[in-house]
Amino acid sequence: MAATLGLPLSAAAQVAATLEKKRRPVVVWLEFQDCAGNTESMLRSSHPSIAELVLSIVSLEYQETIMAAAGKQAESALDRVVREDSGKYLAIVEGSIPTGEPGYCTIGGRSAMDIAKRVCGSAAATIAVGSCAFDGGPQRSAPNPTGAISVGEAMPNLTLVNMGGCPHNPANTAALLVYYLTYGRLPALDAHRRPLFAYGHIIHDQCERRANYDAGRFVERWDDDGARRGYCLYKMGCKGPQATFNCPVVRWNDGTSWPVESGHGCAACASHRFWDTALPLYQRLPGVPGFGVDVTAGKIGGWMTAGVATALGLHGIASAARSQMRPRGEAPRGGPTEIGRPGGLVEREGPPEKS
C-alpha cells in the first residue's frame, strides 16, 4: 500500500505497524473429549464480559459451541488461521485427547490428536482450560477406557499455560488473556504451568471459614447446627487444606459464592490429577492439613517462571487489549506501566505460610 502511495520505506513500515496494531489478536478454541464446561464457564465471564472479550479485545475465529459457521465453513476458518496467522494466534484447548483409538474423537473426519498438533503446533501459545485439558480429567481415571491424556502430555514442547479447575474460573482465564495481550508475555507460572496469581495460594488459608478451623469448630454431620453457622467443613471431606486456587477470593459467577460458602467441601478441582489424588469426596484428609502436593508445586514455581516469562510472538498488541477496555472514545494514556516480578510470589521457596 505504501508503495502505491509513493511513501518512503520508513513510512511503509509505520503503516504496516499501524495496520498490525489495529488487527485484534486471533484466538481459536478447540474442544476434544469434553463436556463444554469450560466453554460455558467462559460465557459467564463478567470482567470483561464475553461479548467485550470476543468482539472487541480478540477475534475468536473458531469455537464449536457458539460459532456461526458449521461444517466446511467452520473448518476453513480454522485452516485460514493456521495458514495465515501461524505463530501469532492463541490456541485454547478444552478436553482430553484419546490415544487408544483415533476414532474415539474426530472432528471434520480428523482425529483429535492430529488437530491438536496442527493447531497448537503453530500457535504462539496454548492455554489448556479445565481439568480434562490440564491433566486428562475424569475419563483419564482407571480404567481410562479411551487412553485419554492431557494437552501437555500430548505435546510436551508447547508454550503452554494450564488453567486447571472443573471448570476453569473465567475470571482467571480472562485475566490471563488480558495480561498476555497487554505485556506480550505470560505471567509467572508454577511447576504445573499454572499462573501464580490464580493457583499460588492454599484455599484453606484464604477461606472465610478458616477462623472456625483454628477455633476447632467443625460441621460434624450434614445439616447440623454447625452447618447452619458456617463452621469448617474439614471433617466432611473438604480438600481445601491441600488445594491451591483462588476460589475464596474471586469466587464464582461475578463473585456471588463458591462451594464452601454454599455449604459443601472443596474437591481440589484445580489440583493436578485431583480425580485420582484428592477423592474420595467425603473422606477426611489424612495428615496435617496445609501441606499437600500443591504446596510442593508452589515451592518449585520460581525456576519455572524464569523460563516462560519471556516475550512471545505477538507484535503490536501491547496496547490493543488495554485500549479496548477503556470507555469508548476516551483517549489512550501513556504506554504500558512497568511491572516488576509479579507479586514476589515467584521468589517464595517454601510453602505458603499458615496464617
Sign of the four-CA dihedral 29, 111, 126, 239:
positive
Count of positions on this chain that bind another protein (CB under 8 A): 97
Nearer to another protein, 244 or 305 (CB): 244
**Does 66 interact with another protein (rule: CB under 8 A)?**
yes
Angle, helix 112-121 to helix 71-84, in steps of 10 degrees: 40
Q: Quick one: which of 14, 18, 86, 257 contacts another protein (CB under 8 A)?
A: 257
Helix (H, G, I), strand (E, B) or coil at 34: coil
SS3 of residue 132 by DSSP: helix
Q: Residue 294 Cβ, how far from another protein at the closest point, in Å?
A: 19
Neighbour count for residue 294 (Cβ, 10 Å): 31
Closer of 222 and 311 to another protein (Cβ):
222
122 burial type by CB count under 10 A (0-12 exposed, 13-18 middle, 19+ buried): middle
Candidate residues 14, 15, 101, 339; the one interacting with another protein per rule CB under 8 A = 101
Residue 97 is a binding residue for another protein (CB under 8 A)? no
**Which amino acid, 51?**
A
Q: List the one residue from 87, 102, 313, 344 that touches another protein (CB under 8 A).
A: 102
In the complex with another protein, the residue whose CB is nearer, 30 or 202, is 30
Site for another protein in 274-293 (CB under 8 A): 275, 279-282
By CB under 8 A, residue 175 contacts another protein? no
* DSSP, res 343: G
Shortest Å distance, C-beta 62 to another protein: 8
Q: Which of 52/205 has CB closer to another protein?
A: 52
Considering the complex, what minimum distance in angstroms separates the CB of residue 3 from another protein? 21
Determine, following the binding rule CB under 8 A, whether residue 105 of this chain makes contact with another protein: yes
Question: How many angstroms separate the first and last alpha carbons of the chain?
Answer: 62
Cβ contacts of residue 97 below 8 Å, gap of 6+? 32, 33, 105, 112, 113, 116, 148, 149, 150, 151, 154
Find the binding residues for another protein in span 36-65 (CB under 8 A): 36-41, 43-46, 49-51, 54-55, 58-65
Cβ partners under 8 Å of residue 52, min gap 6: 324, 325
Shortest separation between residue 291's beta carbon and another protein, angstroms: 24
Cell numbers given for 165? 479447575
Residues 294-353 interacting with another protein (rule: CB under 8 A): none
Count CB neighbours of 142 within 10 A: 7
Q: Applying CB under 8 A, which of residues 2, 21, 117, 138 lies at the interface with another protein?
A: 138
C-alpha span between 37 and 26 (Å, rounded): 22
Give the separation between CA 353 and CA 15, rounded to whole angstroms: 52
Closest C-alpha to 102, from 32, 7, 176: 32
Report, in Å, the least distance between residue 354 CB and another protein.
22
Q: Is 72 in the site for another protein (CB under 8 A)?
A: yes
Cβ–Cβ under 8 Å, residues 244 and 202: yes
Q: Is 84 in the site for another protein (CB under 8 A)?
A: no
206 binds another protein (CB under 8 A): no
> Interior CA angle at 147 toward 142 and 148, to 5°?
90
- Choose which of 229, 284, 326, 341 interacts with another protein (CB under 8 A): 229
Range in contact with another protein (rule: CB under 8 A) among 121-129, 228-236, 284-292, 302-310: 228-236
Question: Who contacts 84 (Cβ-Cβ below 8 Å, separation ≥6)?
Answer: none
Q: In the set 70, 287, 307, 338, which binds another protein (CB under 8 A)?
A: 70
Q: 4 to 33, contacts with another protein by CB under 8 A?
A: 22-24, 26, 31-33
From candidates 134, 197, 245, 258, binder to another protein by CB under 8 A:
258
